[in-house]
Chains A and B, each alone.
Chain A
């Protein structure tokens, strides 16, 4: 199973919005609404930020939002804060009992 494609880096200034893309295929993102996004700070375990494309677990700020169009999913972080600086990973169900992750995007708050 091939990994999903994410840009290696993204950045924005405090208060700005930034969108991270996650590109898959018609066999994963394009056909299943099982896209999740995870935030990972250095040396820490990942944290679920978005599941099922656009749902937010309790406790996740509404500054984080998810969407999907065709084979590409997106995570938007609005009102950037210093603590948002982290690595972000997307994942998707890929059929045939497989789950795939993206390569990760390092978000820098300038």
Chain B
């Protein structure tokens, strides 16, 4: 059974940093591209970042480019999102999502975690 378990969310001040983790199990982690998708309260989904199965390719939405860094440790089956210079508009539930296959651009996110809430406020 595929499981994705996010952690690391919480309250942080504007300009602060936070690192999210997503522990994966039930599938061959290194074979799948992974993404982070966020959702502000009462709002729609927003793709944030993606990483290839090997970790050699990383991709970002313009809204987070230069501030967020996605990475993965295939030996630990874990995905990460390092978030720096956080802003109020980054407040959202952050989901990690597995791509159905190797190419994140297909957008075929077939499994999602339960989400972790990030609140940026003073």
Contacts and interface: CB of A to CB of B under 8 A. Distances in A.
Interface in A74-110: 89, 91-93, 97-104
B44 A34 contact: no
Nearest to B59: A97
Interface residues of B, number: 24
Majority-rule SS of A interface residues: strand
B45 A46 contact: yes
Interface of A: 1, 3, 32, 34-36, 38, 40, 45-48, 51-52, 57, 89, 91-93, 97-104
Contacts of A34: 105-108
**Most central of A40, A46, A99, A103 by chain B CB within 10 Å:** A99
A46 B109 contact: yes
A1 B56 CA distance: 24
A35 B105 CA distance: 10
Interface stretch (B24-32, B68-76, B111-119): B111-119
A9 B50 CA distance: 30
Nearest to A104: B44
Nearest to B96: A45
Contacts of A52: 106, 108
A97 B37 CA distance: 15
15 contacts: A34-B106, A34-B107, A45-B112, A46-B95, A46-B112, A47-B112, A48-B110, A57-B100, A57-B108, A98-B62, A99-B47, A99-B104, A99-B107, A101-B46, A103-B44
B44 A91 contact: no
B103 to A, nearest CB: 8
Contacts of A100: 47
Contact of B95 (A3, A45, A91, A104): A45
A91 B47 contact: yes
Contacts of A47: 112
Given A34-B107, A36-B109, A92-B107, A101 B61 contact: no
B106 A48 contact: no
Nearest to A50: B108
Closest 3 CB pairs of A and B: A51-B108, A45-B112, A99-B47
Contact of A99 (B95, B105, B112): B105
